[in-house]
Amino acid sequence: MDRPFVGLVALVTGSADGIGKAIAYRLAERGASIVLHDVKTDELGATASAIRDLGVEVATMAVDIRDAAAMRAAYDDTVARLGDVALLVNNAGVGLMGPGDLVDVTEEDFDRMFAVHVKGAFQVAQMVVPGMKRRGYGRIVNIASNRGQVGFTSGSHYSGAKAALIGLTKAWAKELAPAGIQVNAIAPGVVKTPMTMAHGIDAVHEEAQDNLIKRWADPNEIAATAVFLMSPDGAYYTGQVLCPNGGDPVVGI
Ligand SMILES: NC(=O)c1ccc[n+]([C@@H]2O[C@H](COP(=O)([O-])OP(=O)(O)OC[C@H]3O[C@@H](n4cnc5c(N)ncnc54)[C@H](O)[C@@H]3O)[C@@H](O)[C@H]2O)c1
């Protein structure tokens, strides 16, 4: 296997489980030192130990992404140990907690949605980008959603937060290209993870019937896209949204 990430440190937010864990694992297999981040401490420890077995260095940040001061302190500790982060994946995310109809969404749920997906990603990028600029190199991948591209029949606060992340992707790509930093987004369709399984396997199966190939994705299929974008094979991509979604929907030109 090629190891294009040897000598690079990767931070994947929300990486104790699901898509983030799969991305961290694949980056480690290809040589990156890994910074795992999540609030699920048990799963974080188990993932850290599995990735350490691959023979790379691993650090963990067990911090709520909404706590900017704690994130900063944990990040500074991590950089002191492993060095500046060159690869950032903004993956931490939350599904719907309460009702999804516009008139019923609570202020708390709305604020949490934007605090985790948008403000969280923004503040992590603010921490990481100065180190990338020092190196004159960086790759950022934001995990958005097909719902941020075309919406859905409920959960507009989720769709809006993911659309905001796509907007950040394009703006950061333009702002940061002169510094050697390339920024892309991934907009997955339905993926079988703890987030979607919270609604039960029948709901995951039903959502998968909306796509052209009639199945859900495995987290590794999303991770493959992230690895591609950060590897030398993806060197000509910036400001783009790649859509591993089984054709749900077919977007753009
Ligand atoms: N599963 C899907 O079908 C799907 C589809 C499109 C996009 N996505 C996006 O992919 C990303 C990963 O989701 P997943 O499906 O793997 O779900 P997941 O629940 O397995 O993973 C998300 C991780 O983020 C962590 N997290 C949540 N809030 C946090 C906080 N405040 N601070 C720190 N960590 C926090 C969770 O603990 C969890 O481990 C999310 O951004 C999600 O919106 C998922």
Q: Average pLDDT for residues 190-212, to the nearest whole number? A: 95
Write down the pLDDT at residue 252: 73
Write down the pLDDT at residue 249: 87
| Neighbour-count burial for 90-110, b at 16+ CB within 10 Å, e otherwise | bbbbbebeeebeeeebeeebb
Domains, the chain, with CATH or none: 9-242 (3.40.50.720)
18 lines ligand 1 (CB under 6 A): yes
Interval 107-141: pLDDT, tens = 999 999 999 999 999 999 999 999 999 999 999 99
Q: What percent of the chain has pLDDT over 70?
A: 100
CA 141 to centroid of ligand 1, rounded, Å: 14
17 lines ligand 1 (CB under 6 A): yes
138 lines ligand 1 (CB under 6 A): no
Write down the pLDDT at residue 86: 98
Residue 253 has pLDDT above 70, yes or no: no
pLDDT band at 22 (very low <50, low <70, confident <90, very high): very high
Tell me whether residue 75 is one of the annotated catalytic residues.
no
Residue 178 has pLDDT above 70, yes or no: yes
* DSSP E strand stretches across 75-161: 85-90, 138-143
Write down the pLDDT at residue 251: 80
Interval 148-175: pLDDT, tens = 999 999 999 999 999 999 999 999 999 9
| Neighbour-count burial for 48-75, b at 16+ CB within 10 Å, e otherwise | beebeeeebebbbbbbebbebeebeebb
- The answer to whether 37 and 12 are in contact (CB under 8 A) is yes
Q: Average pLDDT for residues 193-214, to the nearest whole number? A: 95
Candidates 25, 137, 158, 237; catalytic one: 158
Phi-psi domain of 18 (left: phi exceeds 0; alpha: psi -120 through 50; beta: other): left
Write down the pLDDT at residue 56: 98
Q: What percent of the chain has pLDDT over 90?
A: 96
Tokens read off for 4: 């294009």
Residue in the structure block whose two tokens are 């961290």: 24
Report the alpha-carbon distance of residue 156 to residue 145 in Å, rounded.
Answer: 12
- Chain mean pLDDT for the chain: 97
